[in-house]
Structure formats: C-alpha cells, structure tokens
Amino acid sequence: MSETMQQLQETVAYIRGLVSGEAKTGIILGSGLGNLANDIKTEIEISYNDIPHFPVSTVEGHKGKLIFGELGGKKVWVMGGRFHYYEGYTPQQVAYPVRVMRLLGVETLLLSNAAGGVQDGFRIGDLMIITDHISLFTVNPLLGKNEEALGTRFPDMSEPYSKALIKKVQEIGKQNNIELKQGVYLGVTGPTFETRAEYKLIHILGGDAVGMSTVQETITAVHCGMKVFGISVITDLGIREEENTITHEEVLQAAKDAEPKLTLLFTELVKSL
C-alpha cells in the first residue's frame, strides 16, 4: 500500500470513529460562502486541526471544519473552508479532502467559489454555473505515481461538470426566479488578483470567470469517479473601464450578498439527488 493510501485510510478511520452515518453528497464551500453551513442540521463538526493528515485552512472566510449533517432531507458532508495551492499546499494536499470524501462514500460533489467575472455583461453578484474549466494555469493534482485504487492513470475530462446536474440546477433556478449565467472557469494559482492584461488574455482564451480554486478538486473528483457540479459567485469584474482595485474584503462581501440564492440552489439540488 502506498503512503498516500495509508494516510487516507487513517483519516477515514478517524472520521468513521466519530460518525456512524453515511452521505452520498459532498459540498465544498468557497470564500465568503461558509454561512451556507448554518442551514445544515449539523450532527457533528470536526475541526480540520483534529483530523489526521488533513491540511488546515488559513484564509479569511473559510471556517476550517468538516461537517456531517442534513440538508434538504439528505445526509451531506460539508467542508466549511477549502485549501488552496497559494497557501503553500501541494496540489495533492489540496486534493486530499476530495479523496477522503470519496472513501467515505460520496458520489456527488458540489463546489462553490468566488470568482472574477470576465464574460461581457457579467455583474457583481451574478451566479455562474460552471460548464467547463481551463486548468492549464494550475498544477495538476494527479502528477506523480497514480493511485490505482482511486482511479485510472489517464482520466477522461470531456465532461468534468455533470450535464445532468447542470440541467437540474437550471430548472431549480427557473422555478425560483433566480437568474443563472453559465460559462467556463479558468483556474490560476493566485494569490495575486489578475492584471488587466491577464484578464484580457483569459477572455481571449475562452474563460468567462477566473479563480484560485476548484479545478484541482474537480480533476481529483472525476479521477475517482464522482459527479461534479460547480458554481461561481461573481464577486469582482476583471475587465472594466474605471481604475478601481480589488480587495479580498469586497470579494467576501459580494459572496455573502449572493449566499441566500446559492443556499436555495444547493438545498434543492441535494433534495433532488
């Protein structure tokens, strides 16, 4: 057994020692979106600090807890805070919690993030369903020896975000009068926000939104056979006329303002699974 699989089994054993229930849905909450966890009927919260081999979130707006509970009448695992490459973690460490969720029985992974809008016509506060992503500007978490117990050496990425889940969320949005954009998410390392020239390049390459998370988690989830749904809250606009700057505080506020709509979408989606 590889060292990675040994560590994963130790992590899962620790969590199983605290939680007897099962959940087929996992949720990872992005910057400023942690309050969605307040809508979960929590059975147990486990601090990342207490979980063997687990990274620890260091970014404001990320709570740093693994939550087991009920949302929309279904059991869920929720990560209140994720890990980022820019924090100094390896791509494998960023991917680690996704693999833990899979070994805990999760089959569907819901991802949210705060992102910069690049598509013409985007406004701050818009919700963008991620239909595809560009991962060429981040480090692939599957580099190195393949963990055959988790997935194939060369996973297909022709449908990283489930079309069936996207269709469900579009229907939920229509039923609840929630306007939903859709587009391609381009992942970068961060932690700097993009320059004006970089935003223009991202637009030329086909990116509709840009952010510092999600793609490594998605690659990992697809590798180990999970279905993925991703959504971005547009918290700032990259291509703009005025000479304004972007701050993390403004990103958190924009995400917080969009949170009620995101909570409804996730709750109804989990109900339908």
- Mean pLDDT, the chain, rounded, equals 91
For residues 17-43, average pLDDT: 87
Confidence band for 241, pLDDT divided at 50, 70 and 90: low
If phi > 0 it is left, if psi is from -120 to 50 it is alpha, else beta; for residue 75 that is beta
Decide: residue 105, CB within 10 A, 0-12 exposed, 13-18 middle, 19+ buried.
Answer: middle
User: Which segments of the chain does DSSP mark as H helices, in order?
Assistant: 3-18, 91-103, 163-175, 196-205, 215-223, 248-272
Q: 249 Cβ partners below 8 Å, 6+ apart?
A: none
Q: How much is the pLDDT for 238?
A: 79
Q: How much is the pLDDT for 57?
A: 63
Domain ranges of the chain: 3-272
Nearest to 77 by CA among 65, 86, 85, 67: 67
Q: Reply yes or no on whether the pLDDT at 86 is more than 80.
A: yes
More confident residue, 239 or 120: 120
What distance in Å separates the CA atoms of residue 147 and residue 126, rounded to the nearest whole number? 38
Q: How much is the pLDDT for 257?
A: 80
Q: How much is the pLDDT for 243?
A: 62
For residues 207-225, average pLDDT: 97
Confidence band for 60, pLDDT divided at 50, 70 and 90: low
Nearest to 68 by CA among 53, 52, 79: 79
pTM given for the model: 0.93
Cα atoms found within 13 Å of the Cα of residue 134, Cβ hemisphere only: 18
Three-state DSSP class for 195? Answer: coil
Q: Reply yes or no on whether the pLDDT at 33 is more than 90.
A: no
- In words, the CATH class of domain 3-272 is alpha beta
